[in-house]
Amino acid sequence: MSSRQTVSAVDLGDAVVIRDEDRENPVAVRFDHVRKTYKLYKNDRQRLLASFSNHVRYDTINASDDLSFECRRGEALAFLGDNGAGKSTALKMITGVCFPTSGTIEVHGRVSALLELSAGFDMRLSGMENIQMRCQLWGLSDEEASEIIPGIVEFSELGKYIDQPMRTYSSGMRARLGFAFASSIRPDILVVDEALSVGDRKFSAKCRKRVQSIIEKENVTVLFVTHSTAQAQQFCTRGIVLSHGKTLFSGDIEEAVSFYEST
């Protein structure tokens, strides 16, 4: 079995997460009756006490509530909904940032996320050293890394700052480098969560153009969260409208936008 077909299945009790790098699977992402429940404590002290006792009171909220959908290979799918609808939670489960409480999630292919773009950098290292470290974490060969690094540096527009410690970077500079890396590693599945407003207006337009190019030329599956229905219509062919973790509508992007704007 090749490395791109190796399956990682995690049994989480009432939930199962299946991941592999099989880009030949016609299904990129599938959610089957997925629920993600968070415990809400009165304060940090109560949260700490709960680590030692099962008798601490708490409320619960279902960020995803019996959520089911399927995203086909090469499809661009928009998640629409107000704040708290469960859009970002769904993306975080796809990327492995958090796990479902129940249900089954399948992810087939290499995932790159444009989420918290400035997260995960070592501020003591230079921008270049952070790029090289991320290439190693992604399992890229030296040849693959040397092929993409020049493009990452060029796209980030950091110039000589690329060799300076990242503690000297502004938050915008870190986000630009994060976007440049995440959009350059040729993923099978690209997850985008309000990441296209990076930097100034000119650079933001450059980011939107990069995502559009990825969608059109590389047959990448895109899962896109935005509050901008115009961007959803620009990038996506299908949409899902969420509310309180539940699916209200799923269908063509024009119909999804119309439904969302009417609610």
Return the pLDDT at 195: 58
Q: Is the pLDDT of residue 185 over 90?
A: no
Mean pLDDT of the chain: 87
Return the pLDDT at 112: 82
Which of the pair, 116 or 22, is modelled with greater confidence? 22
pLDDT digits 0-9 by tens, 216-232: 766 789 898 887 888 88
Q: How many CB atoms neighbour CB 87 within 10 A? A: 27
Return the pLDDT at 5: 53
pLDDT digits 0-9 by tens, 2-20: 444 555 667 777 899 999 8
Which of the pair, 158 or 207, is modelled with greater confidence? 158
Q: What ranges do the domains of the chain cover?
A: 119-186
CA distances from 213 to 110, 113, 115, 143, 234 (A): 18, 16, 19, 24, 12
Give the 3-state secondary structure of residue 82: coil
Return the pLDDT at 4: 47
Query: Could you give the CA distance from residue 62 to residue 35 in angstroms, rounded to a whole number?
Result: 7
Q: How many CB atoms neighbour CB 188 within 10 A? A: 22
Q: Is the pLDDT of residue 1 over 60?
A: no
Q: Picking from 136-150, 204-218, 243-257, which range would have the lowest pLDDT averaged per residue? A: 204-218
Q: What percent of the chain has pLDDT over 70?
A: 91
Longest Cα–Cα distance in the chain: 56
Find tokens 């880009």 and name the residue: 23
Q: Picking from 123-127, 130-134, 214-218, which range would have the lowest pLDDT averaged per residue? A: 214-218
- From the list 140, 220, 214, 130, the residue with the least C-alpha distance to 177 is 130
Question: What sign has the CA pseudo-torsion 105, 111, 116, 121?
Answer: positive
pLDDT band at 179 (very low <50, low <70, confident <90, very high): confident
Give the 3-state secondary structure of residue 146: helix
